A and B are shown apart, each in its own frame.
Chain A
């Protein structure tokens, strides 16, 4: 089974776009985290959707779950293929392919492709915004951000974020760089959580006992 989906040009284009989504500054960004590997692996097939709970390999999907993920991946792949074309088309008006532009020019191109034209796209964008970041508390509690509903740029932003912060077992967040950038002391591996050894008790209040309950139990 291939573990890539993109051709070399598509891969270079998306990798460059991801490097604008989470740029490298004095701390690592999408490039160092390997978010392109995360995404290319995801798009390569249905055999990398769910990591095994102990981090040892991936679940084999069957039946309806397999059907649903096959269907979803087809939609998402098509969006990326069209997205790369859209980036290059917008880049050409600036005199090159997307990968040839400066970082600032690439940002302009991404904003242009992101910008909705017409009411349908506006509605799509509004949904995507709500689903992604528009109302963070609601969006996170209600998992409505069905990937198939997102436009290309919001989808790319979401996948870059996933590749930066998901467990490294999925190919991104290399050496936990995403977690280090923001100071999240995640587990060393999924196995640590799976075996019940991962605790965050050290990040609770210094005095962890509630007033009035000292003598209880």
Chain B
């Protein structure tokens, strides 16, 4: 795609242009506007308020009220370059102001020190493109604390025996104990394994002028009508707006990042809800669309200076993508568990098998935690062997809906050079732009880790007294976590990375990426706390750079 002449509106230039207003974009907006900079943000989706959300499982989960509509925003997927790609809703994330933090229940574990030097810890793994991070845990630690305290995260400092150093405890005590969390703690304790209350983006008590979080059943994958959960929509966006320097434009679909003759980013061309074209110029451009859409936008932004896409001089944009995979051992119990209570994800966690251990025969490990089975609400609840219909299906629903729970895990999938996001050569979205095509084969290590963690999860359920346990081993990567990372990895060597240690593109000096694209490895933990902490860090660097330039 070449730069197009726009007949549309040209807006006055701004200091910083952020593409996206989800977890990372809203964090950057808060930090940049509070430092005095003027920010324009272009968000593809709507700016919804709490008044538009409710306890409607059908709308939220089955009718794409929060997910991208697959007819408007398709993606394609294939397992290898020789296969035809098929249209799939691969790794969907809500496209709206607040992004994935609108539908999440906000499990917010920190990564560990080991995660930042994973390659050094585990060594070379054949087929995997491992790399250490150019930053350390210690460098990010103050920003973890900053996000936890901005959000009012509920958790129990010190309870996770394997957590790395923290400078400050959690602002709120853990969320109330659910029955499924209680089972999980008990089962693991019987095995001698450490567990802890899952740190959560919710308020166990009033905090910073906000009331305690309402424990509705409609939480996971539902917007929050009470406005009491902690999200980018409820916390960072209002803080940025309050500065008077945040010009957030929803329903604005960016077609390309524009550049000048030297290859510096100049701004973006975007289309508004009425189909009119606009051009927004800025001194600094920040990409915050999530790892899939950020890579896609970089590849869509071709110019004379960047003929293969922005920052893609070494054919690395979109490569090394990782998605995690979420799967579970599923149990039934005689006594009721009500694993939909609180939304089914007010949970207990374990890092017992998170760190690397050579004796297990695979590299790395992952976060284990409990939840309801699937979306633990009636329409979408099920058990693995439940038939689709008939008397037996009804019996399973009736006997097990209130008596089932899952012990789940996140696979730390290893980056591979040929696992990538690029542009589909046939399928376009409703705006006529080529869609993201995912090419991905799981690494043997991913599958071995999944089996190991599911086996341990099943043991916890058995030790907790389950009457039946079924294992659902992950046999492929589907992107079912909505976690995505690695498509523009950061590193010190421009030959092997897209971004530098400050998440600035090596070849575009005023272009930054603040979402999970920068992660050299995916780690085994839910990424959004780290995404927000890193966005905060990068935004401070951008602001400091502007200060220096102004003084200069």
Closest A residue to B217 by beta carbon equals A200
Contact B178 A161 (CB under 8 A): no
Q: Which of B56, B92, B205, B340 contacts A190 (CB 8 A)?
A: B56
Interface residues in B201-217 (C-beta closer than 8 Å to A): 204-205, 214-217
Q: How far is the CB of A58 from chain B (nearest CB, A)?
A: 10
- Interface 0/1 of B151-172, CB less than 8 Å to A: 0000010010000000000001
Contact B51 A53 (CB under 8 A): yes
Q: Which of A50, A72, A154 contacts B59 (CB 8 A)?
A: A50
Please report the C-alpha to C-alpha distance between residue A65 and residue B73 in the assembled complex, in whole angstroms: 11
Contact A198 B216 (CB under 8 A): yes
Contact B177 A21 (CB under 8 A): no
Of B133-141, B392-400, B487-495, the one touching chain A? B392-400
Contacts of B55 in A (CB 8 A): 167, 186-187, 190, 192-194, 198
Contact B430 A160 (CB under 8 A): no
- Counting chain B residues whose Cβ lies within 8 A of the other chain, the interface size class is 35 or more
Chief secondary structure at chain B's binding surface: loop
Q: A53-B51, A167-B55, A199-B214 are in contact. Are A204 and B177 (CB under 8 A)?
A: yes
Assess whether A102 is interfacial by the CB under 8 Å rule: no
Contact B338 A203 (CB under 8 A): yes
Closest A residue to B275 by beta carbon equals A63
Q: A136-B373, A137-B328, A193-B54 are in contact. Are A157 and B388 (CB under 8 A)?
A: yes
Assess whether B402 is interfacial by the CB under 8 Å rule: yes
Please report the C-alpha to C-alpha distance between residue A162 and residue B478 in the assembled complex, in whole angstroms: 24
Contacts of B197 in A (CB 8 A): 210, 213
Assess whether B246 is interfacial by the CB under 8 Å rule: no
Interface residues in A165-212 (C-beta closer than 8 Å to B): 165-167, 169-170, 178-179, 181-184, 186-187, 190, 192-196, 198-201, 203-205, 207-210, 212
Assess whether B379 is interfacial by the CB under 8 Å rule: yes
Please report the C-alpha to C-alpha distance between residue A203 and residue B92 in the assembled complex, in whole angstroms: 31
Contacts of A208 in B (CB 8 A): 176-177
Assess whether B8 is interfacial by the CB under 8 Å rule: no
Q: A198-B216, A217-B172 are in contact. Are A162 and B67 (CB under 8 A)?
A: no
Contact A141 B382 (CB under 8 A): no
Contact A107 B373 (CB under 8 A): no
Q: A143-B89, A187-B55, A216-B173 are in contact. Are A53 and B394 (CB under 8 A)?
A: no
Please report the C-alpha to C-alpha distance between residue A27 and residue B399 in the assembled complex, in whole angstroms: 13
Q: Which of A29, A142, A205 contacts B394 (CB 8 A)?
A: A29
Please report the C-alpha to C-alpha distance between residue A133 and residue B52 in the assembled complex, in whole angstroms: 30
Assess whether B311 is interfacial by the CB under 8 Å rule: no
Assess whether B350 is interfacial by the CB under 8 Å rule: no
Contacts of A196 in B (CB 8 A): 214, 216, 225-228
Q: List 18 A-B contacts (CB under 8 A).
A: A53-B54, A55-B54, A67-B430, A136-B384, A138-B478, A139-B374, A141-B375, A141-B480, A144-B88, A165-B377, A178-B378, A181-B394, A182-B402, A186-B55, A194-B51, A196-B214, A201-B176, A201-B215
